[in-house]
Amino acid sequence: MSYEAVFFDLDNTLYPYAPCNEAGKRAALETFRERGYEMHRETFDELYATARREAKRETRETAASHDRHIYFKRALRLHAGEHDAADALALGDAYWEGYASEMELCDGVERVFDALTEAGTEIAVVTNLTTRVQLRKLSRLSIDDRIDRLVTSEEVGREKPSAIPFTTALAAFDRRPSEALMVGDNVGADVAGANAVGMDTALFVADGETPAVDELDGDRRPDHRLDAFADLTEVAA
């Protein structure tokens, strides 16, 4: 089946997330040390996890829940009992610099985009997170000129699986849900969210660890499961 528009999640769909996150953490830890804080990796991991958990609890279902600068602002307070704007900014910036240095497209993404463009299919990225960070990722991956629309949870005020990110993208293209396909790695956010507004869905996880079949039921069952990103050409183009 072909579609008039295909929407993609970004993180761990168009590129693998885990190596980028690890590189970001290493860079932030090094910055902690450079700025005079004695810290082992184990301490850093515990501190980061605690700050992240607190931030997500207090900013749940908003783009701010993913903001690394918030995590490190809290981490400084937890570790040193202090507020230092310059250090918090440096730590967050270091994380994203390290993160970006490891970003690489999944095999097949460019071929799929070529096929969709040739078929006249519109392409959107529909993603949870802040707009500036996601713009930076698209630029780093050199695919910003391949995307017709970027819809972030920050700009629409709701996180997937809310209907609003999906309906915003549909409205931008003047498309009905039946004319669009959502491709993503998260069963709850991408599959259930898009299915709920009437879109078909395809599940692809960049790190290869897809949920077991018995975990995919009801509105969590995608219409397509992709073993390789390039398989999408048989589904959507």
The per-residue pLDDT for 167 is 98
In the predicted model, what is the mean pLDDT of residues 202-223? 80
In the predicted model, what is the mean pLDDT of residues 117-124? 96
Q: Give the active site residue among 11, 67, 87, 190.
A: 11
- 11 catalytic per annotation: yes
The per-residue pLDDT for 164 is 98
Q: Cis peptide leading into 19, omega within 30 of 0?
A: no
pLDDT, tens digit, 9 for 90 and up, residues 44-53 = 999 999 999 9
Task: Order across the sheet with 224-225: list the strands.
Answer: 149-152, 122-127, 5-8, 180-184, 200-203, 224-225
Indicate if the pLDDT at residue 161 is higher than 90: yes
- 219 catalytic per annotation: no
Indicate if the pLDDT at residue 211 is higher than 80: no
Longest CA pairwise span in the chain (Å): 58
In the predicted model, what is the mean pLDDT of residues 13-30? 98
Q: Give the active site residue among 9, 67, 185, 200.
A: 9
The per-residue pLDDT for 90 is 98
Helix (H) or strand (E) holding 127: strand 122-127
The per-residue pLDDT for 155 is 97
The per-residue pLDDT for 6 is 98
Of the chain, the percentage scoring pLDDT greater than 90 comes to 88
Of 54, 66, 48, nearest to 132 by C-alpha is: 66
- For 158, other C-beta atoms within 10 Å of its C-beta total 16
Indicate if the pLDDT at residue 218 is higher than 90: no
In the predicted model, what is the mean pLDDT of residues 179-186? 97
Indicate if the pLDDT at residue 80 is higher than 90: no
The per-residue pLDDT for 212 is 65
The per-residue pLDDT for 207 is 84
Q: Is the pTM of this model over 0.75?
A: yes
